[in-house]
Structure 1
Amino acid sequence: MRHHIFTEIIDWPSLIDPNRGYIHDNTVIIDFRIDVIRTEGIEGVKPKDATFDLTRLCSPDEINNVTLVIGNNKLKVCKNYLAIHSPVIAAMLFKDFSEKGKEEVEIKDVVYEEFLDLLHLIFSRKAPITDTSIHHILELADRFEVKELIDEAENYLTKSSKLSAVEKLQLADQYRLGLLRTHILQGYNSARD
């Protein structure tokens, strides 16, 4: 196996090209360090009609990809990556459920734009959690058991949210957010003292 230190970006097709020598026993090991210097984004801006293709995070093998159908909308995603973050989706796609092995899987009882927010957070962390999105992010993260997003939402509610203490307590109770509940109650006790 070749060992290289790259100071520039190598494209995926070159990396997985067997003739380039980066693959050994059907495996490519990538070890990298990222220093975040700056982040950018515009809150609330989402492409409505753009093709949402997250398969770039997958191997090119079509078996790793799945199309999620939400109402009249279709989203191509990497099922392996999504399954890492959601045990519920992992069970749907890889266990003995009717969705296993299907190229298209219907996700019922969700609003497309809200599910898109969830996917943006899972795949790229580019969609910020806001006071407007916090309710559906928590609902979907809880439903699909995306633990890191529940933690991120709890952190947002503890540090950044302008929601009232009552609203935060309701969310803390509904989604079992113990740190948030403790934070609010400690703040309330401090204010009384």
Structure 2
Amino acid sequence: MSEENDNVAPTNNENDISMEEEEVTQETDGSEKENQDTSRNEIVEKMFEKLLEKQKNIKKSITEIVDKLCSVESELQLIRDDLKPKTVAATVPEQTDDEDETDSESKTESVTMPTTGKYFVLKHVFKNVTNMKEGEDHWSETEEHIGVEWRIDVYRTKEDLSFFLKCLKLTEIGKWSIEAQWKQALLSKSTENRFKVVTKKSFGTVDTSNGTWGFPKFIGWAEMEKDFLVDDQLTAEIHVKIMETTGIYKDNLRSFDETMEEFSDVVLVVNDEKFYVSKLYLAAHSPYFKALVLGNFNDSKKSEIKLTGIDADDFQNYLELLYGEYSIDEFTVEGILLVADMYDTPLIIRKCEEFLLEKSKKTLKKKLQLSMKYHLEALNKQCRKEIKSIADIKSVLPGDIRDLDPSITTEFLEIALSIQ
């Protein structure tokens, strides 16, 4: 029996060993499981740490971006400030006949003037200024505006800089006059890279007997040298707003006054002058007037509509051309173009361009300026074909080369290189 028992069942010792092995195995399994759990926890913790780190980095990046944006905004504001002309005090000029008594002091406002209507700017950089002799005139190049030639004149007195706008006399047309507002300015950049500007403004009339506007004592010479000379160069500007002209334009070719009332259905008022015209005729030639006189605007229902930003003489010439009279000449073409461009009148623009292409004796520079200002493609193409030499390029360059239209700069460079 004992042998059978020995053969059938394990001894107690064997059972004990098996149990111990099982316990050891369970402990080992438990330990491994615990190690695995610990490992998993560490991995998860590391993942969380990485996520937190990434979140911190993202936060930091966002903060940096915001700071940069704020910095950019600040820089933009500084640029905006730079673009606003700064002023310095200037010597009070002597009273002149064409100067308004209440407006004779140096002004601190921006150089910019309203640019609607007959408005233009002359700009010139005078060189070797410290070598200027007393009483010796220094001129900018002559520029034509509204059919009249203009230029800047500066010279040195004992202690001051004299600064004038000269209108070349129109001897061929008899008596004439031009009433205008104008603003004269000297510009420079200070050490902080900000614009420094001294300005003076006035209004008055030039005419057959006197073609000069300006100030005999614009600024003290020492102050000018200290604050406005850059590499011995002086940048001068004159902004001119023409208010009224007489004797420059020809006599009217057609009437649009009250004698035409029975043939009109709307009155257009320009600077208190009334023009009696037909709504349908205007609308047929101008999308602007079509919307204005036939649209759903408040003005469309009115019998009188006021137009702003143009000159009455220019509008007279514009209407004459629109109604079949040939009112274009060297004096009127620029004003007619201004009105036609403002009121989107292709017929008038085309006729003005044809005049400039075929008949006008204006300079190449003036034609090029008009072609770019009023988008006259055929005229622009003709002008560019005529630019074949360095001398041609120089003849069309503005007083300040930085004012050159970017669209033509590359072409000028290519011409210059090909010649060289």
- The one-letter amino acid paired with 1:185 is R
The answer to whether structure 1 residue 145 and structure 2 residue 351 are counterparts is no
Following superposition, the deviation at residue 54 of structure 1 comes to 4.7
State the 4+ residue runs in structure 1 displaced beyond 6 angstroms: 47-50, 190-193
The answer to whether structure 1 residue 90 and structure 2 residue 290 are counterparts is yes
SS in 1 for 2:325: coil
Find the partner of 2:303 among 88, 99, 103: 103
CA distance in 1, matches of 2:295, 2:255: 32
Query: Residues 48 and 147 (structure 1 numbering): CA distance in 2 closer, same or farther, change over 3 Å?
Result: closer
SS in 1 for 2:301: coil
Question: Identical aligned pairs, as a percentage?
Answer: 26
Q: What is the match of residue 160 of structure 1?
A: 359
Query: Residues 132 and 74 (structure 1 numbering): CA distance in 2 closer, same or farther, change over 3 Å?
Result: same
Q: What is the match of residue 118 of structure 1?
A: 318
Q: TM-score when scaled to structure 1?
A: 0.66
Following superposition, the deviation at residue 188 of structure 1 comes to 2.8
Q: What is the match of residue 177 of structure 1?
A: 376
CA distance in 2, matches of 1:68, 1:167: 31
SS in 2 for 1:67: strand
Unmatched runs of 5 consecutive residues or more in structure 2 = 1-248, 393-414
The answer to whether the 8 Å contact 1:53/1:75 transfers is no
Going by fraction, where is strand more abundant, 1 or 2?
2
Over the residues paired in the alignment, what is the CA RMSD in angstroms?
2.7
The answer to whether structure 1 residue 45 and structure 2 residue 245 are counterparts is no
- The one-letter amino acid paired with 1:130 is D
Give the total of aligned pairs: 144
Query: Residues 53 and 148 (structure 1 numbering): CA distance in 2 closer, same or farther, change over 3 Å?
Result: farther
SS in 2 for 1:176: coil
Query: Residues 49 and 89 (structure 1 numbering): CA distance in 2 closer, same or farther, change over 3 Å?
Result: closer
Query: Residues 50 and 120 (structure 1 numbering): CA distance in 2 closer, same or farther, change over 3 Å?
Result: closer
CA distance in 1, matches of 2:260, 2:367: 33
Query: Residues 184 and 50 (structure 1 numbering): CA distance in 2 closer, same or farther, change over 3 Å?
Result: closer
Following superposition, the deviation at residue 168 of structure 1 comes to 0.4
Q: What is the match of residue 24 of structure 1?
A: none
Following superposition, the deviation at residue 125 of structure 1 comes to 2.3
The answer to whether structure 1 residue 188 and structure 2 residue 394 are counterparts is no
Following superposition, the deviation at residue 55 of structure 1 comes to 5.8
Query: Residues 52 and 132 (structure 1 numbering): CA distance in 2 closer, same or farther, change over 3 Å?
Result: farther
- The one-letter amino acid paired with 1:45 is D
CA distance in 1, matches of 2:281, 2:355: 24
Q: What is the match of residue 10 of structure 1?
A: none
SS in 2 for 1:186: helix
Query: Residues 92 and 50 (structure 1 numbering): CA distance in 2 closer, same or farther, change over 3 Å?
Result: closer
The answer to whether the 8 Å contact 1:142/1:150 transfers is yes
Query: Residues 116 and 90 (structure 1 numbering): CA distance in 2 closer, same or farther, change over 3 Å?
Result: same
CA distance in 1, matches of 2:317, 2:374: 18
Following superposition, the deviation at residue 74 of structure 1 comes to 1.1
CA distance in 2, matches of 1:49, 1:147: 23
Query: Residues 82 and 53 (structure 1 numbering): CA distance in 2 closer, same or farther, change over 3 Å?
Result: farther
CA distance in 2, matches of 1:47, 1:181: 30
